[in-house]
Every structure is written in C-alpha cells, then in structure tokens.
Amino acid sequence: MLRLYSISLVQFKNYQNRSIQFNERIVGISGPNGIGKTNLLDAIHYLCFTKSYFTRIDGNNISQGYDGFRLEGQFEVWDKPEKAICILRETGKKEFSVNDQLYEKFSRHIGHYPCVIIAPDDIQIITGGSEERRRFMDTLLSQLDAVYLQQLINYNKVLQQRNSLLRSFADTGSKDLSLLSVLDEQLVKPGQGIFERRKEFLIAFLPRAKQFYIEIAKSTSRRPASSTAENINLFYTSELLQASFAELLNLNQSKDIMLMRTTSGVHKDELEFTLNEQPFKNMASQGQRKSLLFALKLAEMEALKNEKGFAPILMLDDVFEKLDEERIVNLLQTVCVENDGQVFITDTSSERLVQHLTPLKKPFQLIDLTN
C-alpha cells in the first residue's frame, strides 16, 4: 500500500512555505485559476519521479526571486513510513533522498512511488505527434521495469552519438564506417530490448485500455438513434515487427548517411488508435478523445498495481471539463471506488467536487487552497 500523508513545499513555484496534510485516501483540491492546484500536483510528481511533469528545467520551479526549492513528503509504503526530500540547491544541484539516504542515480527512484497523473495537456497523447505516445509508454514501462529504464537511457545516449557522427560525415566529408558500426552494435542491444519489452507489454495492455474505454463510454441511458457505436482499436506499430533492428540499421545505412540522422529504430515506434476504422484523432469528438486518454491512464494504473502489488498514486487535474455527467460518474467510480489507491482530484469549484464525490459514499477530504 502506498500513501502520501503530508507534503511541505518551500520556494516551489507559487508556494513560499506551506505544509499540507492529507488525511483521507480521496483528496479534492479546489481554488480559482492560478491558485496553485496544478503546482501542488507537480510537487507530488516531483517526489515520485524526481522531476516535474511539466518542465525539464528544474530551475523553472523555483519561486520567482529565490535561489532554490525544497519539497518533503511523508509517505507510507507497505505500512513503513518514508520521508522523501527533493532539494534544488542554489548552485543548481539537485538532491533526492528517501529516509535521509541520498540517491546517486535518480533513475533508481523511478517506480518506488508509482504514480499516474492526468493533466489537461495530456490530451496530446491522443492528438499530438508520436513522441507523446512514446513518452506515455516509456513513463509507464520505466516505472514497471528498471532494466527498461536503463535501456532507454542507454539507447537515447547512443542515438545522439550516432546522429552527431552522421552529421560529422557531412561536415568533414570523411566517413568513419567502422565507428558507425561500433555505435550500431551499441544501439542494437538496448533498441532490440526496448522493442521486445514494449511488444510483450502492449499485447495485454492495449486490450485493457480498450475495455476501460468501453466502461467509461458505456451509457445507462438510451442514446439518440443518430449516435453511432464507438468501435475503437489500439495497435502498436514498429518497424522492428518486420525485421530485426540490426537488419534495419544495415538496410538504411546509406539513407541515414544522406539524411544525417537515424531513420529506423524504436524512436520511430507508434501507438495507433482508430475509431470505426478511421484514425481516432480525425474522427473523435473532444469528449471521446478525453475518454480514450482516461482509458489509457486507467490501464496504466492497473498495470502498475498488478506489478507493484499496490495501487499507484493517481492525480486528476481538472478532469471534469468536457466530460458529460455519465462519463464523470463512470470515471470516478473506477478511480475512487473500484480502486483502493490514493487519489488527488483538482477542480476550480469545491461545490462541484462535493457534488461528484459525495455519491461515491467513500470518505474524502477537501482542501480549499484559498484558505
């Protein structure tokens, strides 16, 4: 079991110094635009992932006019209390510790406090470029599998080296093909590993996401005759399904040299979604897109729970927008009642939170950030 009991934020975004206690499993967070609801969720995200969900640059999270920040969370994992601290020093150096043990490699922390966040911009996973969907897969698999995360780190490092070598071929006019083949070898191992893991994982995961979509979209009321059935499908596509990565690198060598970048590999993988056999993002309404996003995230939550033996922390930022009443009820039923993990839900209106949380008949806490 995983719980976050309290958090303290010092010089983090709009929080100069604030401590907040969480004393129920379900926590509603309310307040007007700009009060710091999303920032609070991001602080929790920091403690789970050692970094922000929204920016790669740690310094952006320091309160304006200050030189560093400090976040501290009191967690409980399998009935054992744990204190996680993330400090960004004045020097720009970041430190992360659990029970005063500093991590040498932050990647070691990933997956220790599994967490799933759903934020408004996440709709990009459905509508944006393929890199959004790869990031979704990678965030999930990295929490499940430390080997995968290490392979990903290695892959990206070697990929960059290979791309700069390809660029240097054009710059210098000389081609060091033996160095290229050394890098190819270094790239093949993590690349093939990432592919195998994605493929194996997605075989079970994508059908679960589809089921969650059906659950969210299911209607107890009669739909107008004009509304069509929602037949959605999800596929994993990768060139590596057709040929081994080593073969692909060989096959595409002259193309890569000409284009000065690596044109094949798992950095080109894609998750494809369809609605009634058409590309999902062209066909789907805003509410349907949002439903598919939730379906993916709920399947992520379930996969983490199955692997860890306890539910991840779930953070829902502004999820009520654009969802009809029925879908909101279905979603909350799934995340608050059928799931036993901790849930943080933000909304601008505390009344709307109360209105939606009360019928669930589960204890919940309301935090109004204006107070």
Other beta carbons less than 10 A from residue 46's beta carbon: 25
Neighbouring C-beta atoms of residue 358, cutoff 10 Å: 10
Contacts of 309 (CB under 8 A, 6+ apart): none
Cβ-closest residue to Mg ion?
Answer: 38
**Nearest distance, CB of residue 36 and ligand ATP, angstroms:** 4
**Binding positions for ligand ATP, rule: CB under 6 A:** 13-14, 31, 33-39, 62-64, 318, 348
The one of Mg ion, ligand ATP, none whose footprint includes residue 341, by CB under 5 to 8 A per kind, is: none
Residues contacting 251, CB < 8 A, separation 6+: 243, 264
Instruction: Determine phi and psi for 161, rounding to 5 degrees.
Output: -60, -40
Q: Are strands 343-347 and 313-317 parallel, antiparallel or unpaired?
A: parallel
Alpha helices in 267-322 (DSSP H): 280-283, 286-308
Both tokens of residue 242? Answer: 């057709």
Closest approach of ligand ATP to the CB of residue 348, in Å: 5
User: From the CB of 346, what's the least distance to Mg ion, in Å?
Assistant: 6
Nearer to ligand ATP, 195 or 344 (CB): 344
With respect to ligand ATP, which residue has the nearer C-beta, 31 or 190? 31
Q: Nearest approach, Cβ of 40 to Mg ion (angstroms)? A: 9
Give the shortest CB-181-to-Mg ion separation in angstroms: 49
CB of 74 to Mg ion, least distance (A): 24
HEC letters along 56-110: CCHHHHECCCCCCEEEEEEEEECCEEEEEEEEECCCCCEEEEECCEECCCHHHHC
**Residue number with CB closer to Mg ion (41 or 311):** 41
Q: Which chain residues interact with Mg ion by CB under 5 A?
A: 37-38
Cβ closest to Mg ion, residue 34 vs residue 173: 34
When the beta carbons of 82 and 318 are compared against ligand ATP, the nearer one is 318
Structure tokens at 26: 């379900």
| Cα Rg, the chain, nearest whole Å | 22
| Binding partner at 233 among ligand ATP, Mg ion, none, C-beta below 5 to 8 Å by kind | none
13 interacts with, out of ligand ATP, Mg ion, none, CB within 5 to 8 A per kind: ligand ATP
CB nearer to ligand ATP: pick between 14 and 154? 14
